[in-house]
A and B are shown apart, each in its own frame.
Chain A
Amino acid sequence: MRVPGKIDHEEGLLSLDFIIGFTIFMVALIFVAVMISGLLVHLQSRTIDYDAVAYRTSVILVEDPGWAEVFNGTTTDWELNDLSNREERDNVLRLGLSIGKNYERILSRHKIDKFFAGEFSTAEYREKLIFGDYPYRFNIALREIDSVHTFPPVGDEIPTNTAYGYMKRIVKIKNMISGPGPTAEVQDGLGLTINASVAEGNVTFIDVDIILPEFYDMDPLYRIDPLREGIQIKVQNFSIAEPANLTSIQWSFTDNTDRGASTTLSGADYASTVEVYVDGLPDSPPTAPITDNVTVVIRPQYFYQYDFLDQYDRMETTLNFDKNVTNQTVWAYNYTTLADLPNLEPAVLEVRIW
């Protein structure tokens, strides 16, 4: 006979109260355990979001003007560096193609030329454009919509059976009219064209006056910028009967605080940033007699040596000849005398990352 309240250690029975309590506890424990493990599944991600990286890369290309270090600070004109030189490539910190910080989707022709010239290595593109530790593979291509000209794509071939992140942007390209820019080939039709009049001439020099504030008055989308594009001056209408020689070129600038510089271009300049074409053939420094025309090109890297030269200053380029060439004392280099700026050209940019 059992005595109530006394636990019987020999019969191996659990009380009903214990069973019920234990059951309730186990049901609640299992419910909580299943719920918590379901929450943690979503927090672990094994895939990289390539679309996000492609979008970010496209934003840097299309909306950012880039960033580079120069000797006296930093600048967005990274395209003025000589990219065949390893040190100058290292100065470029970020690659962006826009003309300026507030002008998204308007790309600079010079930056595009430099970007697609293939002078950066794959690792450098990753370091200066894509960022991050993962070695992304990429393919960036730009094509003009109207002329259907495609710039040679940068990066690897597009994979056919791997998924990739993708972004397409529509942009407009601003072309240059003042000069050929830092490295592009010299083209006819850029810059200022002057007709010499040897017969009626009474001075032996051609003096070209460039007032930079006049250029900077214009909206940046439609601006001609001699400081970044360079200067090109073509003097034509010479004749084979009366050939002339270009003896020297003087260049000077003054700013509104009367600081300035004035130099005669020397051999060192002709070897690096100044080019002269006599009758269409390169001749720097100029030695041959001119029988038809002469073109003088000053690349924008030349202006970089002058710390104080900026858009508020005035530049003067004087071409000295050995006989009379004109009766006009000063030639203006401004929006009226230069050719019309070409229209903005629409283009499409595609970025693929995998």
Chain B
Amino acid sequence: MVSDSGQIYTIEGVAAAILMIVTAYLVVSSTTIITQQDVHIIDMQLEQLGNDALAMMDTPDSFGNNSTLASAIQVNDTTVFQDTFLDYVNAYTVTGPETMRYNATISYRSSTEDIQTFIFNASPYYRENAVKVSRWVYLPYFNNTYYPEQSDMRSGNQTVLLEVLLWRQ
């Protein structure tokens, strides 16, 4: 039984509801919501620490010499790399030392113009919360006889990418 009476309030109610929802939607979609990213501050501290450590390892201590990092990579000396890097990241002033671990990989351009990657020095990684820092390292007069397992590394001046995954144990 359809008649044309008794519908004015319903129509008004529906119109008012639609108006409110559309307005709220427009307001919400035009504001940006600021959220606190507390969990990322720890990542930023680790990342800055890793970057600092790699940058300082890559600064020669006296004029005309190679940096510790370049020398260690040139002759495949993972002990020097490990000792220096861990000394730097675990250093402390007043409280006790920390325990950081890392995985270091090197990417290079091979003699066949491919990009190859190999693990330089690593600790077992059980998927802790980690950050990755990287640095381009310039290797002057590089001699590939120090890397017998990477037979396609070129000799001569080159730049390799060192990536270090860093986490707190």
Binding site for B on A (CB under 8 A): 4-5, 15-25, 27-29, 31-32, 35-36, 39, 42-43, 45, 51, 55, 105-106, 139, 141-143, 145, 150, 153, 158, 166-172, 218-219, 221-222, 340-341, 343-344, 346, 348-350
Contact check, B9 vs A222: say whether CB atoms are below 8 A apart.
Answer: no
**Interface check B17, CB cutoff 8 A:** yes
- How far, in Å, is A264 (CB) from chain B's closest CB? 37
Contact check, A29 vs B61: say whether CB atoms are below 8 A apart.
Answer: no
| Complex contacts, A35 vs chain B, CB 8 Å | 24, 28
Contact check, B52 vs A105: say whether CB atoms are below 8 A apart.
Answer: yes
**25 interchain pairs, CB-CB under 8 A:** A5-B5, A15-B9, A18-B9, A20-B13, A21-B14, A28-B20, A29-B17, A29-B20, A32-B23, A35-B24, A36-B28, A39-B28, A39-B33, A43-B33, A143-B93, A145-B91, A167-B48, A168-B49, A169-B49, A170-B91, A340-B62, A341-B63, A344-B62, A346-B56, A350-B93
| Distance A346 CA – B52 CA, assembled complex (angstroms) | 11
Contact stretch, chosen from B34-42, B71-79, B144-152, B153-161: B34-42
Q: Which residue of B lies closest to A103 (CB)?
A: B59
| Distance A24 CA – B7 CA, assembled complex (angstroms) | 13
| Complex contacts, A43 vs chain B, CB 8 Å | 33-34
Contact check, B8 vs A17: say whether CB atoms are below 8 A apart.
Answer: yes
| Distance A35 CA – B21 CA, assembled complex (angstroms) | 10
**Interface check B104, CB cutoff 8 A:** no
How many residue pairs link A and B with beta carbons under 8 A? The number is 134
5 residue pairs, one from A and one from B, having the closest CB atoms? A21-B13, A28-B17, A21-B9, A141-B93, A222-B63
Determine which of B13, B35, B88 lies in contact with A346 in the assembled complex, contact meaning CB atoms within 8 Å.
B88
**Interface check B130, CB cutoff 8 A:** no
| Complex contacts, A105 vs chain B, CB 8 Å | 52, 55-56, 59
Binding site for A on B (CB under 8 A): 5-14, 16-18, 20-21, 23-24, 27-28, 31, 33-36, 41, 44-45, 48-49, 52-53, 55-56, 59, 61-63, 87-89, 91-95
| Distance A145 CA – B14 CA, assembled complex (angstroms) | 73
| Distance A70 CA – B92 CA, assembled complex (angstroms) | 36
Q: Which residue of A lies closest to B51 (CB)?
A: A170
| Complex contacts, B12 vs chain A, CB 8 Å | 21, 25
Given contacts A32-B20, A166-B45, A170-B91, contact A25 B52 (CB under 8 A): no
Contact check, B45 vs A168: say whether CB atoms are below 8 A apart.
Answer: yes
| Complex contacts, B95 vs chain A, CB 8 Å | 158
Contact check, A343 vs B7: say whether CB atoms are below 8 A apart.
Answer: no
Of B9, B48, B55, B92, chain A has the most CB atoms within 10 Å of the CB of: B9
Contact check, B17 vs A15: say whether CB atoms are below 8 A apart.
Answer: no
Sample of 7 further A-B pairs with CB below 8 A, known A20-B9, A25-B13, A42-B34: A21-B11, A36-B28, A43-B33, A105-B52, A167-B48, A170-B91, A341-B63
Contact check, B6 vs A150: say whether CB atoms are below 8 A apart.
Answer: no
| Distance A52 CA – B94 CA, assembled complex (angstroms) | 21
| Complex contacts, B16 vs chain A, CB 8 Å | 25, 28
| Complex contacts, B13 vs chain A, CB 8 Å | 20-25
- How far, in Å, is B75 (CB) from chain A's closest CB? 20
- How far, in Å, is B3 (CB) from chain A's closest CB? 9
Of A21, A29, A39, chain B has the most CB atoms within 10 Å of the CB of: A21
Q: Which residue of B lies closest to A104 (CB)?
A: B55
- How far, in Å, is B22 (CB) from chain A's closest CB? 10
- How far, in Å, is A200 (CB) from chain B's closest CB? 36
| Distance A18 CA – B12 CA, assembled complex (angstroms) | 9
Contact check, B36 vs A170: say whether CB atoms are below 8 A apart.
Answer: no
Determine which of B10, B28, B91 lies in contact with A20 in the assembled complex, contact meaning CB atoms within 8 Å.
B10
| Distance A105 CA – B63 CA, assembled complex (angstroms) | 17
Contact check, A142 vs B14: say whether CB atoms are below 8 A apart.
Answer: no
Q: Which residue of A lies closest to B49 (CB)?
A: A168
| Distance A19 CA – B7 CA, assembled complex (angstroms) | 11
Contact check, B52 vs A171: say whether CB atoms are below 8 A apart.
Answer: yes
Determine which of B23, B27, B88, B92 lies in contact with A350 in the assembled complex, contact meaning CB atoms within 8 Å.
B92
Q: Which residue of B lies closest to A150 (CB)?
A: B93
Determine which of B23, B34, B49, B63 lies in contact with A218 in the assembled complex, contact meaning CB atoms within 8 Å.
B63
Q: Which residue of B lies closest to A221 (CB)?
A: B59
